[in-house]
Amino acid sequence: MHYPPLIVWFMALLVGLCLGSFLNVVITRLPVMLMRHWRREARAALELDEEPSPRFNLATPGSMCPRCETPIAWHDNLPLIGWIKRRGRCAGCQTSISIQYPLVEMAGGLLALAVVALHGLTAESLFIYGACLMLLALAVIDLRTQLLPDIITLPLLWAGLLFQLLFQPFMLSDAVIGVMVGYLSLWSFYWLFKLVTGKEGMGFGDFKLLAALGAWLGWSFLPLILILSAGLGAVVGLTAQACAPRLRGKPLPFGPFLALAGWVALLVGDELMALYLSLLI
């Protein structure tokens, strides 16, 4: 295998860290933006006056401490460096800053290195890296809020179909079938579980996320993705309940495990499928 020069590794890591930093903004602000939008729609439907609220989006207001609202200086916003420099605490009130921030930045950098190492610097690798970042955002948002926003999931699905059309047109029919099978499989499980138990086993966002993975990988990868995600979810869920009894009976989001299985399949899917098939034979 021909490895890229050191400068390419460094640039990939730097870009990945910066994009991970931007993902933190999306992860923390997008759910709030959606909640405000839904609230405005509800008030409009009820013919209530709109509530005045300050402008809030991905750019406004600037980065600040959520507790004391001290603006964060540009040098404290540097990916990883700012968090380490302040030892994970606000410069103003010394409140702890969530470990989510450096972890997401690090994940963005490591995913960039993995894509470059496995797929090189190509147009296809840019698409794959974009998909990995969208999966990362969805996974963390689902962990925080148990939401899988359509504003990310549906573009991920369409981007997968576009990827097949541009780079693997022979896979386009498999991808379209993957979308249908991915959605309908979890949709069917949802209703079967609800009929048997009277409870909802997962959210509609999970259907769309698996459909999006079907678009990127084709229908043949879906059983493997479900096995990986369900197996990992079971292990994590049982371990969490054993270590923290207060978590017993609380719902565990499935999106992060689908996202993790999707990363693995996007990065080393062919090798993983070969191993999977060898175990079946």
pLDDT at 247 (0 to 100): 65
Q: What value does the mean pLDDT of the chain take? A: 88
Predicted structure pTM score: 0.92
From the list 155, 192, 177, 178, the residue with the least C-alpha distance to 265 is: 178
Q: How does pLDDT run across 190-200, given as a tens digit for each residue?
A: 999 889 988 88
Those residues of the chain that have pLDDT short of 70 are 1-4, 69, 74, 76, 247-249, 276, 280-281
pLDDT at 198 (0 to 100): 83
Does 61 sit behind a cis peptide bond, omega within 30 degrees of 0 on the bond before it?
Answer: yes
pLDDT at 70 (0 to 100): 74
In the chain, what are the domain boundaries? 1-121, 148-281
Task: List CB contacts of 174: < 8 A, sequence separation 6 or more.
Answer: 164, 218, 219, 220
